[in-house]
Amino acid sequence: MNAPDLETRAAIADLNARFAWALDLHDYDALRDILTEDVHYVSVGRELHGVDEVVASFHARTGVRTTRHGLGNLLLAAESAGVVHGRSSWHTFASNADPPVGVDLYMVADFDDVYRRIDGRGWRISARRIRPVFRVSGLAPDAAPTPQ
């Protein structure tokens, strides 16, 4: 596999930024423009199939949640003109309280992704596997409120 062209790399970096902001702003319906219809999404304790299931899982969260996601070390390899594999390192700061809150690192995780170009709709995430490296379970979604 070869490195994708710069235009593809920029489009995928933008896609990941839109994913992070969708989660951070609780705009879960925006994921429909980021994920493929048949996305395979694996995260801590859950395996989801299809964009409807992923969106519903985020909407089902209860309680207050404040997060900021960041991404680094994005490595990309083109399988073909329409399929790119990616690996990146993400960090998530989280609190189960309203902002402004103290900063707590919830998780650092490796993301293994497959991106597909969909005609007329651009690049989408078609598979995402999240592998935690560091994780504070007490800061997980739906955990007890974070003390302030």
Q: What is the pLDDT of residues 9-19, one digit of tens each?
A: 999 999 999 99
Instruction: Assess if residue 26 is contained within a domain.
Output: yes
Question: pLDDT-derived band of residue 84, with 50, 70 and 90 as boundaries?
Answer: very high
Average pLDDT over every residue of 29-46: 96
pLDDT tens string 115-140: 999 998 899 999 999 999 999 988 88
Whether 144 is in a domain gets the answer no
The verdict on residue 146 lying in a domain is no
**Spatial distance between the Cα atoms of 148 and 143, rounded to a whole number of angstroms:** 15
Q: Look at residue 147 and tell me if it is in a domain.
A: no
Q: Which conformational region is residue 25 in: left (phi greater than 0), alpha (psi within -120 to 50 degrees), or beta? A: alpha
- Number of folded domains that form the chain: 1
Kindly state whether residue 43 falls inside one of the protein's structural domains: yes
**Residue 37 parent element (H or E):** strand 35-43
Residue 117, strand partner residues: 123
Average of per-residue pLDDT values in the chain:
93
pLDDT, residue 102, reads 84
Q: Is residue 148 a part of any domain in this protein?
A: no
Cα–Cα distances in angstroms (integers) from residue 25 to residues 2, 86, 142, in the given order: 34, 24, 17
Give the pLDDT score at 120. Answer: 85
Beta strands in 44-121 (DSSP E): 46-49, 66-80, 83-95, 105-118
Q: Quote the domain boundaries for residue 95.
A: 6-139
CATH of the domain at 27: 3.10.450.50
| Pick from 85, 80, 102: nearest CA to 146 | 102
Going from the C-alpha of 19 to that of each of 1, 55, 82, 101, 131, the distances in angstroms are 25, 12, 20, 23, 17
Q: Tell whether pTM > 0.85.
A: yes
With contact defined as beta carbons under 8 Å apart, do 108 and 134 qualify?
yes
**Confidence class of residue 101 from pLDDT cuts 50, 70 and 90?**
confident
